[in-house]
Structure 1
Amino acid sequence: MTRSNAVIHGHRHSIRLGARVLIGVLVLVGILMLIGVGVVRRDAASLLQSGSLLELLGVSGGAIVVVLALVGVYSVMVDFVFWEGWMQSFPDASGLFVGNEEKQSSHRHFLVYLDGIHQSEENHPPRVQEFLNCLESEIDNDSLLVKGIEAYTITNVGLRAASYSRWFWQWLFSLQEHHPSGFVQFVCAFCIQANNVIKVGISSDRRYGPVMNYELALKIARRLEALGFHPSHASRVVLVGYSGGAEMAIGTAEMLQKLCCSSVQVISICGVFSGNAALESIQDVAMVVGSKDPVAAFGRLAYPGRLSLLPLTNWNRWQRTHSLHRYLIDRMSHNGSSGPFSVAFRQQVVAAICRELERSLVSSSPG
């Protein structure tokens, strides 16, 4: 091993060790803070008093705020580490699609599904999987639906199998699934989804977003390469993003278009997105929205760049030169029994996606 390789190997080992120590310390501090209140209040009955409950809630709330802030810093650091090539899995984009001329796929349209913040592994929840099966049966024979893209991790695996933090996420998932306390299960599920929410926030950020969006674009491009995609044969790539996945799709679209040398289209389902991403070269963006979706409505307020009061934002500049197509589904909400994956609205969402695919294909045809 050369001296430079030894130095890089040392950096990798130090970063991994430091991340593990940091997370372990955070977990230990949080537990000690929560137990500390109980130690001070020696008898269990005193914990039921209003003053003790307020103290416990205050300590718990403070611990959660600190942990979320540090998780956000950790997420940015992991992206930086990956970008700098300090992880062995850093992929090279220069050889994409080389050699695929001989084994290219017969499909010309590739639909890539990006899930919402509930996603924690490559496999989709049953209700989402049923929706994707329905969509797959309705699209044309020359279209291929690409599933199982983990939009909130750097590598091609879910949180459980991420090489740099596998031990922590497996421990958290184990607590979520098997711990007898419902409160502990809730906290663990909250932490998992908080990681994905932070990733959505990073994607919308003008400083760090391009780094993470490029990583996701490269991940999608490599999956398409494995499926036989080649720019000389493929007609387009369609990114279908649900909820926070819409932000990942819009943030990734232009970079993916450059990597694939093929047009990219975006379809959001109950999308929560900022509109901060560069969209100058993206021709088609469509939104499938529910009339009773409070989450998507709040997302528009949370990201003021989509408001018409700010005409110079990326989103509003794009809309002045392009047509945004909206498909409104009456009485549909964001999730659950009235969400887009429910039996009540699944078919309508699939029909809206198929109408948009057909419309954009006709509008892009010559003559």
Structure 2
Amino acid sequence: MRRCFKREEASILLQIYWQRHRQIHRLPCHSDAPQLARYYISRKELQNARHVFDKIPNPSVVLWNMMIRAYAWDGPFQQSIHLYNHMLQLGVTPTKFTFPFVLKACSALQALQLGRVIHNHAHVLGLSMDVYVSTALLDMYAKCGNLFEAYKLFNTMSYMDRDIVAWNAMIAAFSFHGLHVETMQLVAQMLQAGIAPNSSTLVSVLPTIGQANALRQGKAIHAHCVRKFFCDNVVLATALLDMYAKCHYLSYARKIFDNVNLKNEICWSAMIGGYVLHDSMADALALYDDMVCIYNLNPTPATLAIVLRACAQLTDLKKGKNLHCHMIKSGIQLDTTVGNSLISMYAKCGIMDGAMGFLDEMTSKDPVSYSAIISG
């Protein structure tokens, strides 16, 4: 009965909002417009939110921040930058909450030069050393590949300002760039500073442990996860199984995978990738079939690239063609990685015309695209 009432209330509320939307569409300004814009943002209906937002004569800085944040999280990221610039042109002063959002968009776009300009804006406003802003700047520099600036900024932060978010951002930066020794040294410094690692810290550290084949450290982190009851976290469990697979302990990886109650597509992809890494191609294809046929999950482009590699190694043309048809029917955008995997599959299965034909169709090619033809 309660569910029925809730559905009715939601339906009535939606009707009211649509009535207001139509009023705002007709009138140059409406007092309910900011509330309606917030409502659409909360529902991630950014097109409607932007339509309403653009009709508000003088949006509050809070509403500007909400719109910039929405685009920074869900894209298009360039719109976040455009709104920030428009905000400045109208004389609206950014706050310490504006900068983390627009810097996140810079990170997503790999827009290092733009990030530097925004860094200067924050400095002029006296906000560059705010803990939220400085952490966002650190993260932006790291994700844009400038580790020197990121670490320089980290070292200028006082120990009081170095919260878990700042430490995690710097640790993730070192780990992402494969700096295993530096990553572990930073973790040790964090512990010395009296800050305990959380699940995000461990997710950042585990990839570099796997790359360095540092199984002992990986097992220590796994034990810590068990003590802290972190293993129910699917993101952390995925990082653990990926680490064990890279450290050549595939049986451990499978045990973790089997114990995850709510597996997402990334978790499945990591386990399939583990099998491919160890040349267990038949097991990889069998697990992929379970994922799609039994659990009804949609494979990500990364998963498809991994499975295509297995098809190529087994010269399983039928499976490879089925995957190609699935991508076309599903309207999946084929990035360069998936495209290269398709070329390699066709080439290794002896279908050179198919490989060359697909190479010609690819809008974005790299040296791997051509080497896939040659190696086939």
Answer whether TM exceeds 0.5 for this pair.
no
Q: Given the two structures, how large is their TM-score scaled by the length of structure 2? A: 0.28
Which has the larger Rg? 2
| Higher share in strand | 1
| Higher share in helix | 2
